[in-house]
Amino acid sequence: MFSLRTTPFLEQPDLTLQNGRLAVLCNHAAWHPDEGAYLFELIARRGNLVRVIMPEHSLYGQVCEGVETVEVTTEVPVEALSGIDGIVVELQDVGSRYSRFTRLLYNLIDTLNRRVRNVSLYIIDRNIPSGRQIEGTTGSFGLPQRHGLTFGEMANMFYSEANARFPIHIIAAGAEAVNKELMPWSIPPFSDFCGLFTSHFYSGQCLWMGTNVSYGHGTTRPFEQFGAPFMESLFNWNEHNGYSGWNEPGHPAASPGVMMRWTRFVPEYGIHAGETCFGFQLMFVPGAQYHAFNHALRLIRFVRENCPEFRFNGMEDLLEDEALMCYLKGEVDWDVTREYIKAEEQKWLRKSKKYLLYDEAPWRVK
């Protein structure tokens, strides 16, 4: 049984919510400004909250006294779903299949469908900071790198494709005050997601995780800057190759919609911690469209071709696409790869229509 609810969560009349034994899956972003409280506090006030399930690295101080707390990574264990009648989920998603919350949601629906079944699932939907733009090719969970779906719409997709039968209820994003009074990046959903622009770079800059280049992890600008100690060799690249600057039209590293600034940084932790990294800060051009995934592919190939110390480190598993790996390895031209990505995005736009819950539809940069 599936339903889309257009009234706030606290006004839902379900007996399961009013009197049943409930678990909550949320983190520090599930704070409701109209109530001045976290979701688990709101349910605890009713007296029927028995378990709080938190993704790792949540930023809670004290949770609820007398309520069991379970920390999870990408899967909710069956035992954490025992002894409850319903589970309420509120996670601020970021619109990319690389988000750990995507795998957590997928595994939760799979577990409820195959191994539990008698537990109702309630999802408080949220706006996504990356909006409805899509990017990339299909991989894990049937999603592209940037999919343009809300968390509730992803749940609709996973539920439908699994032919699940347990009750699932989506509280529409427009029903909750949090989506009207707070912007979706106001409370960082995880420590590396620090602000307004992060989501628009995330689907592309995540790819550096499959290399020996830092994506800015351990700095104040993760996903907005990237670099490595060995990239210092690029400092005079423009002079030696006849370009006046990194953003000159036709430059192999340039992209419409963004400006690149040569910079250096020292990560406090993560890859190259404590070392001076040379690289670039990415900055949006106001009002311009930007395809972060396409740009990241071109940047990675540029660094690979010009820095002998560059290495892939798990990129195949990250991309899940041999055609894209062929481009990164220099085996095919960008024009061929761009057309391939375009075709894949168009396929996703057609497929995603089946799972939309709201009027605004996903779109791609043309």
Query: Which pLDDT tens digits describe the chain residue by residue (366 residues)?
Result: 899 999 999 999 999 999 999 999 999 899 999 999 999 999 999 999 999 999 987 765 557 888 999 999 999 999 999 999 999 999 999 999 999 999 999 999 999 999 997 999 999 999 999 899 999 999 999 999 999 999 999 999 999 999 999 999 999 999 999 999 999 889 988 888 887 789 889 999 999 999 999 999 999 999 999 999 999 999 999 999 999 999 999 999 999 999 999 999 999 999 999 999 999 999 999 889 999 999 999 999 999 999 999 999 999 999 999 999 999 999 999 999 999 999 999 999 999 999 999 999 999 998
CA–CA separation, 108 and 115 (whole Å): 10
- Same domain? 14 vs 123: yes
- Same domain? 38 vs 168: yes
| Count of structural domains, the chain | 2
Q: Which residues are CB-contacts of 37 (< 8 A; sequence separation ≥ 6)?
A: 31
Residue 85: its pLDDT value, please? 97
- Report whether 222 contacts 198 (CB < 8 A): yes
Condensed to tens digits (0 to 9), the pLDDT of residues 46-76 reads: 999 999 999 987 765 557 888 999 999 999 9
143 within some domain: yes
Range of the domain at 230: 198-320
- Same domain? 52 vs 174: yes
365 within some domain: no
139 within some domain: yes
pTM of the model: 0.95
326 within some domain: no
299 within some domain: yes
- What SS3 class is residue 146? strand
366 within some domain: no
Burial of 350 (0-12, 13-18, 19+ CB in 10 A): exposed
CA–CA separation, 232 and 207 (whole Å): 20
CA–CA separation, 27 and 256 (whole Å): 36
CA–CA separation, 31 and 178 (whole Å): 8
Residue 287: give its domain's CATH number. 3.90.1150
- Same domain? 47 vs 145: yes
What is the pLDDT of the chain when averaged over all its residues?
Answer: 95
The last residue of a domain, from among 304, 320, 336? 320
Q: Which residues are CB-contacts of 76 (< 8 A; sequence separation ≥ 6)?
A: 25, 53, 70, 104, 107, 108, 111
- Same domain? 150 vs 228: no
- Same domain? 224 vs 157: no
- Same domain? 120 vs 26: yes
Distances (CA, A) of 226 to 79, 91, 266, 272: 41, 27, 11, 11
- Same domain? 41 vs 181: yes
CA–CA separation, 120 and 122 (whole Å): 7
- Same domain? 214 vs 168: no
- Same domain? 142 vs 107: yes
Residue 183: give its domain's CATH number. 3.40.50.12170
- Same domain? 173 vs 241: no
CA–CA separation, 329 and 301 (whole Å): 7
